[in-house]
Each structure stands twice: as C-alpha cells, then as structure tokens.
A = this chain, B = another copy of it.
Amino acid sequence: MHMMKLVSRVSTLLLSVTPALAIWPAPTSITTGNQTLWIEHNVQVTYNGGIVRWSSLSHPSCPSAAIRTNEELLALQLPWYGGFVPPGSDFRSQDIVHGGVCRALDAILNQNFVPWKLYARNAVKQTEPAANKGKTLITKLEISQTGKDNSSTWKPVGGSVDESYSLSVDLKGTAKIEAVSAVGVLRALESFVQLFYQHTNRQIYTTLAPVEIKDAPQFPHRGILLDVARNYYPVENILSILDGMAWNKLNRLHIHVTDSQAWPLQIPAMPEVSEKGAYAPHAVYTPHDVALIQTYAVHRGIEVIFEIDMPGHIGIVAESHPDIITGWGAEPWTTYCAEPPCGQFRLNETKVDTFLDTLMDDLLPRVSPYSAYFHTGGDEFNFQEYLLDPSVGTNDTTILIPLLQKFTDKNHARVRKAGLVPLVWEEIPKDYNITIEKDVVVQSWLGGSAVQELTSAGHQVIDSNYNFWYLDCGRGQFLNFENGQPFDTYYPFNDWCGPTKSWQLIYQHDPRANLTEEQAKLVLGGEVAVWSETIDETNVDSLIWPRASAAGEVLWSGRLDASGNNRSAVEAAPRLADIRERMVARGIGAAPVHMTFCTQGRNGSTCSWPVGV
C-alpha cells in the first residue's frame, strides 16, 4: 500500500509547471512578470533617438533573414546586411544596428514557432494567452547606444569590445535596449527575440512582461572551430553557422582553412596552391568569399579567425610546391603523422620562407580589416617526418627544436607586421618548449592540467579541451580496417576521443576549473571544435547544435551561477530545448535535446535521473 504514495500522475505534474524563462544563454540578471504583450509589423524602432530606416518587412531595405546565398547577398549590395565591404572600409554602427533590427523583427514576426513542444501535452491552447481580449501592443523599441564604436568593436582583441546590454519591456508596450557598443545592441536584440512565440492564431506574443534584463558575458572569446579543409563547406553553410552563433551570442568563428588533405583557400599571388590543392575547382574560397564571410560575421558581432596550421598539417602544398614539403604521403603514415596523408614544411629550406612571405603578404591584408587574430597552428609536429627532409635529415630534437623556434618567430613576425595577434596550439610552448611572446594566445586542446600549466606560465589561453568540447568525437574511426591484423587489433574501431560529448558533458565543463584567480584571468574563453573527418554540410548542423549552445552558455553566463553554484542541467534543459526549437524555426536543423515527452515536461525534472537512485 505504501507503494502507492510513490505514484505521481504525470498529467498532473505536467499541467502544473510554470513556463521556464526562455533566454539562452542565461542573462546575468533577469526579472519577468506574467503579463501578455503582442507585437506586430508596425513596431517603431529608434536608435539614439532617430527612427531606424524601417518601414515594413517587405521593404527592400529590410530583406528576409533567410536570404543567405552568396548570389542573393551579392544581389542585395547592402553592406549592413553582410554584403561585400571592400577591405579598409569602415563599418558604421547604424548599419550594424539596422541589420540586427531587421533580422530580429524578421525572426520574431516571420520565423517564429508555436511552442507546442514546450508546453504540456495538448496544453498549448490552455497555456497561450487569450487572443480575443483587449491587446496591449509593443509599439516602440528604443535603442540607445552610450559608447562610440571603433575598429576594436568589430575586430576585438580579447575583451576589447563591451558586449553588455540592458533590455526592458514595460507594461505599456515600450521596449528599451541600452548598450555601450553596437555589438551589445546585437546581443540585446537576440535576447529580445527569445521573449516571443507564435500564437496558434499566428499572432506573436510574450507572456513575460514586464521584463528587466541586465547582461554581460563572462568570457570575451566564445567560439566554434570549423575544419573546412578535410571536407569543404559551401559558403552558405558557413554563413548559416554564423547565424546560429549570433543567436547563441557566440562571437568567434575559427576557420581551420587548410590541412594536409586539402587547400581550399585561393591565394591570388599563388593560384597554383588551391588549383592543385583544393578537392575540386569549385571547392574553394575565393577572396570574395573570404571577405563575404568576414563581413557577414562582423555584422553579427562575430570575429572570424583564420588558421593556416603549420609546420605540420600542410602536406597538400606538395602538390604545387613539392620542394618545400617533407614526407608528402609517407607510409606507413602512422610513423610520420597523426592521420593520412603526411606532409610538413621542410625545416631548413629557404624556399619555405619565400612561400610564406608570399602567402602572408597576400592573405593577411585581407584578414586584418575584419579580425585582430591569425592562427598559425603548430599542433602534432612529427619529428620522424624530418628523417625524410633533405634540408635536415634527422629526428634529433636538439637540431629540430631550434629550427622550429626560428620558424615560429619568423611566422609570428609576419603576423604582427600585418597588425594581427598570433594564435598557436598548445604544443608550441608546452611540448616543444618554443619561446613565444606574451601577446600570443595559446589554444589548449589536450586537457588534463594543460590550461593550468599554460596560465601559470603566463600565457593567455583559449580552452578547447578535447575531452569535453570536441564535437566530432565518439562517432567511430574514419579509417578502414582490413580483415586480419589491423581489424582484430583495433576492433571495435573506436576513434581516439570517445565517448561522444553529450550536451550535458559539454555543459559541465568549466574552462576556469582548478585555476587560481590570477590564472583564471588569463583564460579568454573557449571554442568547441568541428573536425571534419566524418562531417560535412549534410550533418554539420545537428552535430554543432544544440551542443555548441551548451558551451555557449558556459562561456557567456559562466559555469557557475550568481551564487557560485554549478549551473544545473535540470534547470538548463527546458531552456536549451526552447532555443533548439527556435533555431529549427529560424532555419538551422539543430538536433533535439531529447524526446518531446521530456520537453513537454518543461521543468527539466520530467526526464531526470531520480535523486538518491
């Protein structure tokens, strides 16, 4: 009989939940009410007192945010929207804000969703506001920017842009955004979007008025690494990823643009490199593509960081410049590199310098108008590969390390000459003991105590710990195994970094864990990584989202809440499901957080492991 007490009726449980607050990532502070406001096309938007050039969504100055292909964007010729801005052109705050307003209102009015998956089963009609009563409309959105933008707003070093904002919606229908920078305004607009849902009668409402939000990020660097070398991603696909990033307040897209397998980046000064190194003539990024990606990103408050990984991970250059590469396609590859095909820059060959001078003189001036950083790679340097290098012919570290030091110094000098800050992978200072200047930012991926060691050595760090934030892991080997010995040895063909990083695992990782306060200050943030051995445009959306959203909340809101407690996945799950539904509505195929039964529970405990069991 006492067993009966344990039975709770699910239906009752579901109907009694209060809707969670929708904002993802969680703002620094938020208070909301339970009054309903509606919003329509005629909302008036002002920016510093002037009416934003905004008449209606069908006006050609405010095209649908769904427009995204290269051709469509080119046709628009609207710099504020992400059209091509020639290098050196200034970005204007009013254009950035105007584009953000267009996209926000388009998302609210035209790309919204009826949140039936977020209410209890069959409870949408009971839960959504009555539409036949006297409706209060949001009539005004007043945007004030208190600071002046400058070049470090659009291409920040660390936290040089102030992304903070406040957002309020009063009961009379006036919404206000205040921010120091235009980027802060963009962040506020994304929070504003998340207040609204579509009614089953197709009107748009929020039930959370009045709203007061004050918000600012915990980490200045909140990124995604996308490997476009191992598989090619069409430009539209990269723009779509930038969209998703903006919705999640992520602000760095790190494009790993070349690797031993392919060189898709057109270099006008050396057209042969991509002509021979891209997977196909059309699978390239032209200078126009690069500028388009960068401009599109700036308009969303995102900085694109390109990486040319070297001296390893560069074999493909041998197809056009065989004299500067050692061990191209060396076999067995297991001896000479981490994955096929092998190939590194020769280490005592002046032609390498000629190549890099030409490359960097071509590329970096096209990067520097949009970005403060350039990543020179430096991971997985293979010493055996230099046995095959006619310019050195040894694997002796006492010979190779000084050469690597010189290589790195010269490379970083090229980066600095272009006004950019170098980024390197952690092995450069930590495993190879290369001395780097204090401006260099170190990207850590190997986990363990790496972040601790790097910060205690005084380095600024970006955390991409593979145990938590490598989104490609845990899906099995990309390699084939012939029957017999390799098959038997490597069965069941797990990859090197399983298990798959679930959103829960990603969410509990704190880049500042186990650091002193001083060390913690050196952690600029983190990046989730999409290495593309088994990922391309067909599956990238559901592999990135909503897991990058989980990392995004850690990086924006902090792993700890305002009280210093770890954020709870039980609290987070309904909000994550919410932004996932919104992403799908806005055109990105994010994977489901979990089955609808769980999202309809809404309070996150419906599908939780019971406490004490």
Interface stretch, picked from A365-373, A406-414, A452-460, A597-605, is: A597-605
Interface stretch, picked from A131-139, A289-297, A485-493, is: A485-493
Interface stretch, picked from A102-110, A234-242, A474-482, is: A474-482
Whether a CB of chain B sits under 8 angstroms from the CB of A448 is: no
Please list 6 pairs of residues, one from A and one from B, whose beta carbons are closer than 8 Å in the complex, sorted by A's number: A11-B329, A121-B279, A230-B595, A279-B600, A482-B605, A483-B568
Q: Which residue of B lies closest to A566 (CB)?
A: B483
By the criterion CB–CB under 8 Å, are A478 and B595 in contact? yes
- Neighbouring B residues of A275 by C-beta, 8 Å: 122
Whether a CB of chain B sits under 8 angstroms from the CB of A463 is: no
Determine the distance from Cα of A315 to Cα of B9 in the docked complex, in whole angstroms.
11
User: Whole-angstrom distance from the CB of A392 to the nearest CB of chain B?
Assistant: 13
Question: Out of B474, B502, B611, which one reaches A486, CB within 8 Å?
Answer: B611
* Interface bits A521-536 vs B (CB < 8 Å: 1, else 0): 0000000000011111
User: Whole-angstrom distance from the CB of A395 to the nearest CB of chain B?
Assistant: 10
- Neighbouring B residues of A609 by C-beta, 8 Å: 334, 477, 479-482, 486, 490
- Neighbouring B residues of A116 by C-beta, 8 Å: 279-280
Determine the distance from Cα of A315 to Cα of B505 in the docked complex, in whole angstroms.
30
Whether a CB of chain B sits under 8 angstroms from the CB of A573 is: yes
By the criterion CB–CB under 8 Å, are B232 and A533 in contact? no
Interface stretch, picked from A302-310, A350-358, A585-593, is: A585-593
By the criterion CB–CB under 8 Å, are B532 and A595 in contact? yes
Whether a CB of chain B sits under 8 angstroms from the CB of A387 is: yes
Determine the distance from Cα of A7 to Cα of B334 in the docked complex, in whole angstroms.
12
By the criterion CB–CB under 8 Å, are B610 and A333 in contact? yes
Determine the distance from Cα of A598 to Cα of B261 in the docked complex, in whole angstroms.
9
Determine the distance from Cα of A584 to Cα of B536 in the docked complex, in whole angstroms.
12
By the criterion CB–CB under 8 Å, are A341 and B479 in contact? no
By the criterion CB–CB under 8 Å, are B486 and A493 in contact? no
By the criterion CB–CB under 8 Å, are A482 and B7 in contact? no
- Neighbouring B residues of A566 by C-beta, 8 Å: 483
* Interface bits A509-547 vs B (CB < 8 Å: 1, else 0): 000000000000000000000001111101101100000
Determine the distance from Cα of A607 to Cα of B568 in the docked complex, in whole angstroms.
42
Determine the distance from Cα of A534 to Cα of B546 in the docked complex, in whole angstroms.
12
By the criterion CB–CB under 8 Å, are A480 and B573 in contact? yes
How many chain-A residues does the 8 Å CB contact rule pick out?
Answer: 107
By the criterion CB–CB under 8 Å, are B331 and A595 in contact? no
User: Whole-angstrom distance from the CB of A251 to the nearest CB of chain B?
Assistant: 25
Whether a CB of chain B sits under 8 angstroms from the CB of A28 is: no
A122-B280, A231-B592, A534-B591 given; A608·B329 CB < 8 A = no
Determine the distance from Cα of A490 to Cα of B508 in the docked complex, in whole angstroms.
13
A333-B610, A542-B542 given; A498·B501 CB < 8 A = no
Question: Out of B6, B8, B387, B532, which one reaches A3, CB within 8 Å?
Answer: B387
Copies in the complex: 2
Whether a CB of chain B sits under 8 angstroms from the CB of A88 is: no
- Neighbouring B residues of A565 by C-beta, 8 Å: 483
Whether a CB of chain B sits under 8 angstroms from the CB of A416 is: no
Determine the distance from Cα of A130 to Cα of B14 in the docked complex, in whole angstroms.
66
Whether a CB of chain B sits under 8 angstroms from the CB of A164 is: no
By the criterion CB–CB under 8 Å, are A505 and B492 in contact? yes
* Interface bits A317-336 vs B (CB < 8 Å: 1, else 0): 00100000001111111110
By the criterion CB–CB under 8 Å, are B490 and A502 in contact? no
Question: Out of B117, B331, B504, B591, which one reaches A477, CB within 8 Å?
Answer: B504
By the criterion CB–CB under 8 Å, are B117 and A11 in contact? no
By the criterion CB–CB under 8 Å, are B481 and A610 in contact? no
Whether a CB of chain B sits under 8 angstroms from the CB of A499 is: yes
- Neighbouring B residues of A476 by C-beta, 8 Å: 499-505
Question: Out of B4, B10, B478, B608, which one reaches A598, CB within 8 Å?
Answer: B478
By the criterion CB–CB under 8 Å, are B595 and A6 in contact? no
Determine the distance from Cα of A461 to Cα of B591 in the docked complex, in whole angstroms.
33
> What 19 additional pairs, Cβ within 8 angstroms, besides A9-B329, A10-B315, A116-B279?
A11-B319, A117-B280, A231-B592, A231-B595, A261-B597, A279-B597, A334-B609, A477-B609, A478-B598, A478-B607, A481-B608, A482-B568, A486-B611, A490-B609, A492-B499, A492-B502, A534-B595, A538-B592, A539-B542
Question: Out of B387, B480, B505, which one reaches A604, CB within 8 Å?
Answer: B480
By the criterion CB–CB under 8 Å, are B611 and A485 in contact? yes
- Neighbouring B residues of A483 by C-beta, 8 Å: 565-566, 568-569
By the criterion CB–CB under 8 Å, are A479 and B279 in contact? no
By the criterion CB–CB under 8 Å, are A6 and B330 in contact? yes
Whether a CB of chain B sits under 8 angstroms from the CB of A606 is: yes
Whether a CB of chain B sits under 8 angstroms from the CB of A76 is: no
By the criterion CB–CB under 8 Å, are A533 and B3 in contact? no
A6-B331, A474-B474, A613-B334 given; A481·B499 CB < 8 A = no
Determine the distance from Cα of A483 to Cα of B537 in the docked complex, in whole angstroms.
35
